[in-house]
Amino acid sequence: MRPALMWSEVHRPQKVEQMVGNEDARLTALKWLNGWVSGTKPLLLVGPPGTGKTTLVHALARQFDYHLVEMNASDTRNKDSVKEMLLPALQNTSDLFGRKIMLFLDEVDGISGREDSGGLDALIDLMQEPTVPVVMAANERSEKIKSLAKGCKVVEFSPVPPRLLMLFLNHVLEKEKAKMGPGDRMSVVVNSGGDIRALLNSAQSRVAGYATASNRDVTETDIEDAINGYFAAGDMAHAVQALARADAAFPDPRYEGMSPDSRRRDMISALYSSIVSSHLDGDSLADLLDALSKVDMVVGRVSRNRQWSLLRYVRDMLAEGLFARSRGKEIKYSQYAMPWQVMGPVFARSQTTRKISSALGPATNVSRSTASAYVLPYLAKILADEKIDPVEFAVTNFGDESVGESLAKEIERGKGKK
Domain parsing of the chain, residue ranges: 22-156, 162-215, 223-326, 340-416
Distance, CA of 4 to CA of 127 (rounded, Å) = 41
Going by their DSSP bridges, the two strands 66-72 and 100-106 should be labelled as parallel
Distance, CA of 396 to CA of 297 (rounded, Å) = 57
Output the pLDDT for position 84. Answer: 64
Q: pTM of this prediction?
A: 0.52
Going by their DSSP bridges, the two strands 134-138 and 153-156 should be labelled as unpaired
- Contact call for residues 135 and 32 (beta carbons, < 8 A): no
Output the pLDDT for position 1. Answer: 33
- Contact call for residues 367 and 354 (beta carbons, < 8 A): no
Output the pLDDT for position 85. Answer: 64
Per-residue CA distances from 267 to 164, 204, 242, 245, 277 (Å) = 29, 17, 12, 11, 15
Q: In terms of CATH architecture, what is 22-156?
A: 3-Layer(aba) Sandwich (3.40)
Output the pLDDT for position 275. Answer: 87
Output the pLDDT for position 56. Answer: 92
**Going by C-beta distance under 8 Å and a sequence separation of 6 or more, which residues neighbour residue 283?**
none
Output the pLDDT for position 411. Answer: 86
CA dihedral 44, 46, 50, 51 (to 10 degrees): -90
* Continuous segment of H or E residues that includes residue 182: helix 182-192
**Going by C-beta distance under 8 Å and a sequence separation of 6 or more, which residues neighbour residue 378?**
none
Give the distance, in angstroms, between the CA of residue 60 and the centroid of all CA atoms in the same chain. Answer: 15
- Contact call for residues 336 and 346 (beta carbons, < 8 A): no
Class of residue 12 by CB neighbours under 10 A (exposed 0-12, middle 13-18, buried 19+) = buried
* pLDDT tens track, the chain, 418 positions: 343 467 777 888 888 888 988 899 999 999 999 998 888 888 999 988 888 888 899 999 998 888 888 776 655 555 666 666 667 666 665 655 667 888 888 877 766 444 445 667 777 777 787 888 889 888 887 777 788 888 889 999 998 888 999 999 999 999 888 888 888 888 888 878 888 887 887 787 777 664 434 444 344 567 788 888 888 888 877 777 777 767 666 665 544 445 555 556 678 888 888 888 887 888 888 989 998 888 888 877 776 666 665 666 777 777 778 888 888 888 888 776 655 455 556 556 676 788 888 888 888 888 887 888 888 889 988 998 899 999 999 999 988 888 888 888 888 877 765 4
Output the pLDDT for position 30. Answer: 92
Enter the DSSP assignment of 35: T
- Contact call for residues 69 and 56 (beta carbons, < 8 A): no
Distance, CA of 229 to CA of 117 (rounded, Å) = 25
Output the pLDDT for position 298. Answer: 82
Structural fold of domain 162-215: Helicase, Ruva Protein; domain 3 (1.10.8)
